[in-house]
Amino acid sequence: MERFYLEKEEELFSIIDKIKLGRDVNVALVVPLGMLALKSIINLRILKEECVFLGKNIYIATSDALIKKLSQQAGIEILESQTETPRIGKSAKMGRIVDLRQKAITDTADTAEELNFPRKYDEGPVFSEPLPEQPEKIKKVRRFKFPKFKIFAWLFIILCVVGLLTYVILVVMPRTQITIYPKKESIKFDAEIIVDKNTDTVNSNSGTIPGQLFNVEEIQTKEFPATGEKEVEEKATGKIMVYNQYSSSSQTLVKTTRFRSLDGKIFRLVNTTTIPGASIEEGKIIASSKEVDVVADEAGEAYNIGPGDFTIPGFEGTPKYTAFYGKSTEAMAGGAKGKMKVATADDISGATNIVTLELKDKVSKEFEAKIPKDLKLLKDSQTLEVVESKSSLKANQPGQKFTISVKIKASGIAFKEQDALYCIEKNVSDKISGNKTILLSTIKIDYNISKLDLNQGKAIYTCNVEAEAALNIDEQKIKSDLAGKSETEVRKYLSSLPEIESAKVVFWPFWVKKVPENKNKIKVLTKIN
């Protein structure tokens, strides 16, 4: 183990250089009492790290209590006496310990004998083991001194860092946000809006906005039982299509003209009618036709026959018999005789109401589902009407059952409410003073229909408008006026502006107490409660 006896004023880099020049992996430093260089935990850690880097084990022998304590904190083992030899691994080498407490070796030292100076202190033997034979040449040992230019370089770097941090803290970081809540006033006025499906642009001058017309039509048929009873004697009725394939001349058939079915049932013409003449194309007669109402010759259910062919007995024995004929496409109905079930007026009325209510509910839901979510459809601008209602039986007409058929149509015109808001905003300038702005989010409109024409796809509304208007805030002027002002000055300035209801000022970071001079670092927000 090599031992180095240090001087009280010796510097850290001088100690490191001695250790680098040492030949043993185990190094013991003999430190005098009060040595300043090793009274720093940072210097001791640097010394420890340098030894680790050089692959050497370092030990300290000293009577200075502070240096002992700091050395232990830095991970350096303490020798209780200068002659103590620590335990070392098998790979450790026992080398010669040179007494460096004497004056430095000069550049002219050539032999080992020139190093054999007397010891300065009587602290025991200088060497831990006998010296081996001295080498012919001993390398000179020079004390290292920290170059002064490095100190200036470090000072310059520190000053630059401090300056940069100061600039960031005082110039870059400071920001101010001013949130302003302007004063408001309530306004009320009337406006006219015209919704027209025939226009696709908003005309704020006339107050006309585009509209969309929607229609839904549904038919529902439902069967009901007849609840009435009565003695009846009813003749079946129906319709027959009469054909003229005889000539181009028309043929008049008088009331009660007979028509005979294939099974011999006689039906009579209800009203006198004229069958038009046939047409002739390329020498061929093309039959003409006309539908007529007929009634059974006798009462009873036997005449409720199905669709079929008919002849006219009055033409029998003449050429017209085969050229004039009839056909029915629907069954004859209503023939009855005796006590039978009949559909009363209440049956028909009640059944009609049931079907109508059910269908109205269905059509209303379908109609609402058809309107896009971005459109507004007012109740006053839509209709729900019964287009057709019929029963298969008339009141007191016999029959076990009857059917009710109802047709309902829903119509309405819808519009985009933002179009209406746009027109109102454009025409509100004469309702408020020039230094105020209407707040669109506060507009409430009560629409009253004054005219509705769904056939033309047009609706006219008189609108009662309620809204709030805010005093205008000149944000750029506020920025310019407040740049560089203190917190007290800012609050005094804001409280003096008549257009401000209240304001909130936030300085950032927390230590900032004035508004930055740079207007880009001032943010002014206008908010409405």
Q: What is the domain-level CATH number for residue 261?
A: 2.40.30
Q: Is 85 exposed, middle or buried (0-12, 13-18, 19+ CB in 10 A)?
A: middle
The β-bridge partners of 522 are 176
Contact 127, 96 (CB under 8 A): yes
Pair 39, 102 in one domain: yes
Q: What is the DSSP letter of 440?
A: G
Look at residue 170 and give its three-state secondary structure. Answer: helix
Domain that holds residue 300: 230-339
Place of tokens 């129906």: 238
Residues 7 and 117 occupy one common structural domain = yes
| Residue 169 belongs to some domain of the structure | no
Number of domains in the chain: 4
Of 372, 397, 413, the domain-final residue: 413
Q: What ranges in 402-474 are assigned the alpha helix state H?
A: 417-426
Give Cα separations from 90 to 26, 53, 164, 394, 411 (angstroms): 12, 20, 54, 127, 106
- How far apart CA 358 and CA 362 sit, in angstroms, is 6
As to burial, measured by CB atoms within 10 angstroms (0-12 exposed, 13-18 middle, 19+ buried), residue 255 is exposed
Residue 138 falls inside a structural domain: yes
Structure confidence at residue 84 (pLDDT): 61
Residue with tokens 């971005």: 374
- 257 and 388 in a single domain? The answer is no
How far is it, in rounded angstroms, from Cα 340 to Cα 391?
18
Q: What is the pLDDT of residue 132?
A: 43
Q: Quick one: angle between helices 487-495 and 475-482, nearest 10? A: 140
260 and 406 belong to one structural domain: no
Q: How does DSSP classify residue 166?
A: H
Question: Residue 286's pLDDT is what?
Answer: 92
In a domain, 165, yes or no: no
Between CA 466 and CA 187 the distance in angstroms is: 6
Per residue in 368-412, pLDDT tens?
999 999 999 998 899 999 999 999 988 988 888 999 999 999 999
Positions of the chain with pLDDT under 70? 82-148, 167-173, 429-431, 433-434, 529
pLDDT tens digits, one per residue of 66-99: 999 999 998 999 987 766 666 544 333 333 333 3
What is the value of pTM for the model shown? 0.47
Helices (H), 384-473: 417-426
271 in the same domain as 136: no
25 falls within a domain: yes
User: 228-244 and 324-327 as β-strands: parallel, antiparallel, unpaired?
Assistant: antiparallel
Among candidate residues 339, 369, 384, the one where a domain is terminated: 339
**Euclidean distance between CA atoms 269 and 313, whole angstroms:** 13
Is the Cβ–Cβ distance between 193 and 203 less than 8 Å? Answer: no
Question: Same domain for 139 and 263?
Answer: no
- The answer, yes or no, to whether the previous bond of 509 is cis (omega within 30 of 0) is yes
Of all helices (H) and strands (E), which one includes residue 342? strand 336-343
- Consecutive H or E run containing 382: strand 382-391
Residues 79 and 139 both lie in one domain: yes
Tell me which residue of 339, 343, 337 sits closest to 233, measured CA to CA.
337
Q: Give pLDDT, residue 529.
A: 63
Residue at which a domain ends, from 313, 339, 365: 339
Q: Which residue is it, tokens 């000055």?
A: 489
Q: Are residues 268 and 313 in the same domain?
A: yes
The pLDDT value given to residue 408: 96
- With respect to residue 192, please indicate whether it lies within any of the assigned structural domains: yes
- If asked whether residues 140 and 44 sit together in one domain, one would say yes
Q: Give me the pLDDT at residue 425, please.
A: 82
Angle between helices 65-73 and 41-54 (to 10 degrees): 50
* 156, part of any domain: no
Q: Tell me: do 134 and 63 sit in the same domain.
A: yes
Indicate the burial class of 53 (C-beta count within 10 angstroms; 0-12, 13-18, 19 or more). exposed
Flag whether 475 is in a domain. yes
Both 327 and 401 in a single domain?
no
Would 503 be classed as within a structural domain? Answer: yes
pLDDT at 257: 97
> What was the pLDDT predicted at 334?
84
Same domain, 450 and 493: yes
